[in-house]
Amino acid sequence: MEHTFALISLGCAKNLVNSEQMLYLMSEAGFALVPDPDGADLAIINTCGFIDSAKSEAIDTILEVAEYKKTGSLGGIIVTGCLAERYKDSIERELPEIDAVLGVGSFTDIVKAAEAVLSRKHYRAFADNSAAVDEIPRVVSTGPSWAYLRIAEGCNNFCAFCAIPLIRGRYRSRKMENILEEAKDLAAHGIKELIVIAQDITRYGTDLYGHRCLVELCRKLSEIEGIEWIRLHYLYPDQFDDELIDEIAGNEKIVKYLDIPIQHINNGILKKMNRRGTGDDIRALFATLRARIPGLVLRTSLIAGLPGEGETEFEELCAFLKEARIERAGVFPFSPEEGTPAAGMPCVPPEEAQRRADLIMELQAPIMDDFTQSFVGKTIRVLCEGRDEESGLLVGRSYADSPEIDGSVQFEGFCPPGEFAKVRITSAEDGVLYGEEAT
């Protein structure tokens, strides 16, 4: 008899890749994927656990799904991912609804866990979270045109506020030949855009090959027929050199969109948070990148209310944002995470951290609106992703839109999903560009 499973993937893109790998393993083992835990034999919840809000979301999801178990319309619950890893000693005690639990080093045990739960046995596995990255095929869940390409796992940067190294282990690059083989396979299945991810992609190769290999990897990825866009996420600011900047500027397939999380700009805070480089280094880097890469779109991540952030330091951050006019920015209120150095440091109350985070987004809104408006009247290349159910228009993304976090382009036209269209932009609103396909 074919058993069914539902899979809920929470958290970041790296976690989604693990979910896609579990999808592959379960399907290979003959399990059928269903959209909803209600009525399924199994529910797999791949959790996030790096900050409070993510932990709450994961726990709420587990308890919600457990309601189906209580009513008998769900057989069993398997919890995987970062919340499981981080709280491996207490999660089953705290959440007795869970039937099986896998750490971030044990995704490959998903079928064993499923079979155990179906035969009413409990299952738990927590392999070394710093072991070599498992090379498992995946079922791409992100549609016909783009896919994440994870090139490494873990992190050695030990930013003082961050629990990820505790959860995801040491930095491990994947072998370049495995990454290229995966990219070729994705291209063969029609994927046009690769979103290159890790906790820190600038460090790619240092552990495995003894030197940074991101440039070499980008060159080889751009030689793959069918791949049109290579988008770089999670670049660490102090790891840029001329070779990398030249490659980004000169490689047509590398999208002129860079995600460079800086977290803050104040020297004292950067030092306290064990971030390498100073505020002036970041200013100089952004100025150099803008000078050397015309039309560059910068994305960054910020944390408001970090230990040591008084009014002066916060004002400095706001002044920097007004000056730098970063096109895409996300901000989190500081969340003291147990096990991290910053958790023990004095800081502003959570409400104040949230107030500052809201102020940053208020400050960023007109900057991002002006940027969006700057496309009106232009004709741009858009990767079509399908039709919007509500507007009935075709929908896609420009080079300035990374999937799932930025805006989109809605347009009249005839471009098939997964193909590129030339679109003349006629208006823009709330981060969405509107237009018509140019003939």
**Which residues form the interface with ligand SF4 (CB under 6 A)?**
155, 157-159, 162, 164-165, 199-200
- Nearest to residue 204, comparing CAs of 215, 214, 219, 218? 214
Q: Which is nearer to ligand SF4, 208 or 376 (CB)?
A: 208
Q: Angle between the 13-28 and 110-118 helix axes, to the nearest 10 degrees?
A: 60
Q: Which is nearer to ligand SF4, 156 or 379 (CB)?
A: 156
- Is there a contact between 127 and 106 (Cβ–Cβ < 8 Å)? yes
Q: Which is nearer to ligand SF4, 142 or 340 (CB)?
A: 340
Q: Which is nearer to ligand SF4, 162 or 213 (CB)?
A: 162
Q: Which is nearer to ligand SF4, 145 or 202 (CB)?
A: 202
Closest CB 47 distance from ligand SF4, rounded Å: 17
Backbone phi, psi, residue 157, to 5°: -80, -25
Closest CB 129 distance from ligand SF4, rounded Å: 13
Closest CB 217 distance from ligand SF4, rounded Å: 19
Q: Which is nearer to ligand SF4, 14 or 192 (CB)?
A: 14
Closest CB 200 distance from ligand SF4, rounded Å: 5
Dig out the tokens for 111 from the structure.
Answer: 């079928």
Q: Which is nearer to ligand SF4, 69 or 271 (CB)?
A: 271
Dig out the tokens for 82 from the structure.
Answer: 């970062």
Q: CA–CA separation, 61 vs 11, rounded Å?
A: 12
Task: Identify the bridge partners of residue 421 per DSSP, sorted by sequence position.
Answer: 382
Closest CB 234 distance from ligand SF4, rounded Å: 7
- Nearest to residue 282, comparing CAs of 324, 244, 314? 324
Q: Determine whether 184 is exposed, middle or buried from the number of CB atoms within 10 Å of its CB (0-12, 13-18, 19+).
A: middle
Token pair 């999801």: residue: 61
Q: Angle between the 214-222 and 242-250 helix axes, to the nearest 10 degrees?
A: 10
Backbone phi, psi, residue 85, to 5°: -60, -45
Closest CB 45 distance from ligand SF4, rounded Å: 22
Helix (H, G, I), strand (E, B) or coil at 70: helix
Dig out the tokens for 243 from the structure.
Answer: 């070779």
Closest CB 434 distance from ligand SF4, rounded Å: 36
Between strands 172-173 and 152-153, the pairing is antiparallel
Closest CB 155 distance from ligand SF4, rounded Å: 3
Which amino acid is located at 169 in the chain?
A: G
Dig out the tokens for 265 from the structure.
Answer: 């700009």
Q: Which is nearer to ligand SF4, 183 or 342 (CB)?
A: 342
Cα 159 → chain centroid: 18
